[in-house]
Amino acid sequence: MINKKILFREIKSYTISTIALFVMALGWTGFLIPNKILGGGVNGIATMLFWTTGLSTGITIVAVNIVLILIALRIIGSGFGVKTVYSIVVISAMFSILQYYIKEPFVTDRFMAAIVGGVLSGTSIGLVFTQGGSTGGTDIIALIVNKYHNISPGKIILLIDVFIISSSYFIFQSIETLVYGFVVMGVSSYTIDLVLTGFKQSVQLFVFSKNAEVIADRITRETGRGVTLIKGTGWYTKKEHSVLMVMAKKMESQQLFRIIKEVDPEAFVSLNTVMGVYGKGFDSIR
């Protein structure tokens, strides 16, 4: 029997990834490629080949990623590989379709196009990362390195993109194209880290309530988060109180507050943002 929660989670994950991949393809085909602005990664390589030979970017993306997919399947695992294959097929199809229909850039200002294209590309990659997949290409290399070393994917991609964009100068002999490529690279890298940081950020809650046990039961049942009950003494009243400590993702904090308010509107709650949480349900210690 198929677990409905797991099925719903997978459907949600693939839906988010699909939307993110469409946004990426739109950023490249609507802003970067028609303005002759080069980005990094396999998409950048595909763009260079398109400008020099007219070969479809979608075909190039599929061809270059085949070898990298095999590497990812061996090192990172089959679950990652399936999502990556899905992402590569979808992004290749979207590049080909959108590039066929989009003949003119959405904006003609090349600097604005570089900024918007970089933001859309970086946001898309970051969202796909949060779903446990990759858009392929240099993203695969970044996640492989990140698995064994505590280096952000954005920084790894940044180094690889420097090499790819720099090599484009030998083909186009244009400083202006080179500079715009570095703008795309920097904006995209920063956006990736921004998205990943937002999803990984955690919070710590201390809840003081006369109905602490009820709140703890609901938090555990409805969010799946663990709760630690601590016995404390109020120094002013000299009475014992139950204090709840909860670690959760920042995006889950509103749900926690809703539960607390429904059980005890007069509860005293302390919320703190923490730098990192490691263990089951959070990040792994490297």
* Average pLDDT rounded to a whole number, residues 169-175: 83
Q: How confident is the model at residue 180 (pLDDT cuts 50, 70, 90)?
A: very high
User: Which runs of E-coded beta strand occur in the chain?
Assistant: 202-208, 227-233, 240-249, 268-274
77 vs 80, higher pLDDT: 77
Q: Which domains, ranges and CATH numbers included, belong to the chain?
A: 4-199 (no CATH), 202-274 (3.30.70.120)
Residue 168's pLDDT is 81
**Number of DSSP helices (H) and strands (E) in the chain, helices first:** 11, 4
pTM of the model as a whole: 0.71
Output 251 or 162, whichever has higher pLDDT: 162
Which amino acid is residue 2, in one-letter code? I
In angstroms, the CA 32 to CA 24 distance is: 11
User: What whole-number distance in Å separates Cα of residue 185 and Cα of residue 114?
Assistant: 9
